Structure 1
Amino acid sequence: MINVFQPSLGEEELAAVGEVFESGWLGRGSRTSTFEAEFAAHIGVGGQHVTAVNSCTEGLFMAMELLEIKPGDEVVMPSVSFVGAANAVASRGADLAFCDVDERTLNPRLEHVTEAVTDRTKAVVVLHYGGRPGWVGDIALWCRERGIALVEDAACAVASTVDGVACGTFGDIGVWSFDAMKILVTGDGGMLYARDPELAARAATMANLGLLQSSGLAAASAGVADRWWEFEVSSFSRRSVTNDLASAIGSVQLRRLPAFVRRRRAIAAAYRLGLAGLGTLRLPPELPEGHLSSEYLFWVQLEPQLRDELARHLRKRGIYTTFRYFPLDGVSAYGARHSPAGAARAASTTLLLPLHQALDDATVQQIIDEVREVAS
């Protein structure tokens, strides 16, 4: 089966893991600190603003806690979003307000967000769908002017920028994913960015159970003469840190990321060329000037019956396709209701084609040929 997602791992990652084994320390340590500094440089911020966590979802949960979201508050997010973001809001007892998305890009426009905002809105969460930055600059400015926090779910946008500014750094908090289906992978893992230095410091402490010292060994090494094992707790937090095994892989993957993204952009360009001119099929719009996408997802859109026919045809030919993300306002746990018009149309017409850096030219052409057989 040709997969939609597939990581690229090899000897460099194995060697990095071997070095961690040889060190005798597998938990959070120097390699995690190094990975944090490297990722901070990658997104153009100071190292004190980022904290490595065990998943992007955990980063979203932490974001809601850092922003002190509580019952009675409202958080706006696109209907087409990842379930982890909605769970993070719901876990705080706050109300979810789902906004519409542009049916072609599956990102919310500013007007979609503003239509959902009320006087109870405490925060807005945006997902950079498929790695496309979307209207994040407009949304960030609007939120900042009104004192509404903006959280960027940049799980799909590890190398996405607008005029050189990294997605995930426009708002107050940004989170990235390094799970097994992403571009940069560590097995599981993520990174959290906080713009405000005090919020960033709280995040680092929160990620480690709220402990005001990292360990007794650290205290002893710092010169504490007596009872270095004693501690204080600043928040009733979870253990959200990652470890040196994942971070060692992450450092290698970060070095390889530019090559990964170049290949993904080449595949996306091949899809655009090979699938152009099919009257029944729509491609994602061209990116605006100054926007760069990580090209995490590539999708085609057809009328619902033909979309489903194409998915079945490709699956029979050994090509797996899917749609992400199912509109959250269709989920009963969140109080199911009718999806906004754009989100509903996108969900019924959109199909994700395989896109990962391990695809060779022959396989890409095979996928193009199979799509054309149904959609021509």
Structure 2
Amino acid sequence: MINVFQPSLGEEELAAVAEVFDSNWLGHGPRTRDFEAAFAGHIGVPPDNVVFISSATDGLFLATELLGCGPQDDVVLPSISFVGAANAVAAAGARPVFCDVDPHTLNPSVEDVERSLTPRTKAVLPLHYGGYPGAIDEIALLCRERGITLIEDAACAVTSAIDGRACGTFGDLAVWSFDAMKILVTGDGGMLYARDPDLARRVRALAYHGLDQFSGRSRSAKVSHRWWELNVRDFGHRMIGNDLTAAIGGVQLRRLPEFQRRRRAAVEAYDSLLAGIPGVRLPPRLPAGHTTSYYFYWVQLPPAVRDRVAADLLSRGVYTTFRYPPLHKVPAYRAGAELPGAEQAAQSTLLLPVHQSLDDADVRTVATEFRDAVERAATTAHAKHR
């Protein structure tokens, strides 16, 4: 089976894990701090402003808590987004307000966001779909003008940028995902960035039970003559990363340029091999100055053809999918919105395999199988209408 997502792990990651084992300290420690500092350098922010946490979803739950979101608040987010984002808003008692997206880019425009603002809007929470930056610079300006907090869901955008500025640094808070299906993986895990240093310090405390300092290792004894005493100021959680997963993340971060080159090569090959297929629309071109992580490669077809092609490819060992089903259609959120762009995208979009482990032969196989599947689906559809 050729998978849509697949990590790239090897001897370097094993060696890093072995070093952690040899240190006899698996929890939050020096390797966690090293990974935070390295990631901060990668996105161009101070090390103290990023925190390695257990998942990007936990980071979004933490972000809504930090902002004090509650029943009196609305949070605007695109309907084409991960369910964890909407859950983080709803669990805080706030109302998720879903905005539409462009049916081709699957990202919201600044106009889509602005139309969805209400007098109760406390935050805007956009996703960079498939790693494409979208209109994040314009959305950030809108939020600053309106005094609204911007939370970036940069889960898919670990190497995405506009004019060299990393996605995730346009807003007030941001999260990245390092789960097993992402580009940079730590098994589970994520990074949270807070622009305000004071807020970043509060993030660090809330991510570990609300404690001002970590305990459990001898370095804590330097802080107080009674280092075992509790100093809880907030009711926190346990959302911290650890040295075992941070060691893997550190290696993956160093390999990120290599991963990016391979993903770009696969995407460029798809663009060439899939060009000109009747009824098939390829991903949008990037605007000038935009760079992407190439996390998704999506094609768009008529809905009935899309579903037949997906089933056909699966039977031939090529796994495809669609992410993310529109959230305004999820009964739990009781949205009741009409968002034609999101609905059109959800009915027509299909993600093809793209990851750094795909070799040239895999890419050609996917492209050939896709072309053939589209032709078979079109022939079947034509026969039914004769």
Pick the TM interval, shorter chain: over 0.9
Determine the structure 2 residue equivalent to 1:106. 106
Determine the structure 2 residue equivalent to 1:321. 320
Q: Give the 3-state SS of the residue equivalent to 2:126 in structure 1.
A: strand
Displacement of 1:70 in angstroms is: 1.3
Determine the structure 2 residue equivalent to 1:267. 266
Cα 1:220–1:273 change in 2 (3 A) is closer
Q: Give the 3-state SS of the residue equivalent to 2:125 in structure 1.
A: strand
Determine the structure 1 residue equivalent to 2:300. 301
Displacement of 1:215 in angstroms is: 1.1
Q: Following the alignment from structure 1 to structure 2, what is the Cα–Cα distance between the partners of residues 41 and 218?
A: 28
For the pair 1:190 / 2:190, whether they are aligned, the reply is: yes
1:1-376 aligned at under 5 Å gives the runs 1-215=1-215, 217=217, 221-222=221-222, 224-225=224-225, 227-335=226-334, 337-376=336-375
Q: Following the alignment from structure 1 to structure 2, what is the Cα–Cα distance between the partners of residues 137 and 267?
A: 28
Q: Give the 3-state SS of the residue equivalent to 1:344 in structure 2.
A: helix
Q: Tell me, yes or no, if the aligned pair for 1:76 and 1:98 is still in contact at 8 Å.
A: yes
Q: Give the 3-state SS of the residue equivalent to 1:16 in structure 2.
A: helix
Q: Tell me, yes or no, if the aligned pair for 1:207 and 1:240 is still in contact at 8 Å.
A: yes
Q: Following the alignment from structure 2 to structure 1, what is the Cα–Cα distance between the partners of residues 223 and 132?
A: 49
How many equivalent pairs are there? 375
Displacement of 1:232 in angstroms is: 1.5
Q: Following the alignment from structure 1 to structure 2, what is the Cα–Cα distance between the partners of residues 170 and 244?
A: 29
> Deviations for 1:167-187, whole angstroms, at most 9, x for unmatched residues?
011000010000000000000
Cα 1:224–1:264 change in 2 (3 A) is same
Q: Tell me, yes or no, if the aligned pair for 1:77 and 1:96 is still in contact at 8 Å.
A: yes
Displacement of 1:216 in angstroms is: 5.8
> Deviations for 1:284-328, whole angstroms, at most 9, x for unmatched residues?
110000000000000000000011111011111100000000101
Q: Give the 3-state SS of the residue equivalent to 2:144 in structure 1.
A: helix
Q: Following the alignment from structure 1 to structure 2, what is the Cα–Cα distance between the partners of residues 23 and 373?
A: 54
Q: Tell me, yes or no, if the aligned pair for 1:179 and 1:189 is still in contact at 8 Å.
A: yes
Cα 1:239–1:220 change in 2 (3 A) is closer
Q: Tell me how large the CA RMSD over aligned residues is.
A: 1.1
* One-letter amino acid of the structure 2 residue matched with residue 268 of structure 1: V
Cα 1:220–1:296 change in 2 (3 A) is closer
> Deviations for 1:242-284, whole angstroms, at most 9, x for unmatched residues?
1100000000000001000110011111111111112210011
> Deviations for 1:3-23, whole angstroms, at most 9, x for unmatched residues?
000000001000100000010
Normalising by structure 1, what TM-score?
0.98
Unmatched segments (≥5 aa) in structure 2: 376-386
Cα 1:213–1:313 change in 2 (3 A) is same
Q: Tell me, yes or no, if the aligned pair for 2:98 and 2:337 is still in contact at 8 Å.
A: no
Q: Tell me, yes or no, if the aligned pair for 1:54 and 1:240 is still in contact at 8 Å.
A: yes
* One-letter amino acid of the structure 2 residue matched with residue 242 of structure 1: G
Q: Following the alignment from structure 2 to structure 1, what is the Cα–Cα distance between the partners of residues 223 and 247?
A: 29
Displacement of 1:375 in angstroms is: 2.9
Q: Which moved more, 1:232-241 or 1:249-258?
A: 232-241
Q: Following the alignment from structure 1 to structure 2, what is the Cα–Cα distance between the partners of residues 94 and 10?
A: 43
Normalising by structure 2, what TM-score?
0.95
Q: Give the 3-state SS of the residue equivalent to 2:169 in structure 1.
A: coil
Q: Tell me, yes or no, if the aligned pair for 1:175 and 1:191 is still in contact at 8 Å.
A: yes
Q: Following the alignment from structure 2 to structure 1, what is the Cα–Cα distance between the partners of residues 343 and 100?
A: 9
State the identity %.
61
Q: Give the 3-state SS of the residue equivalent to 2:171 in structure 1.
A: coil
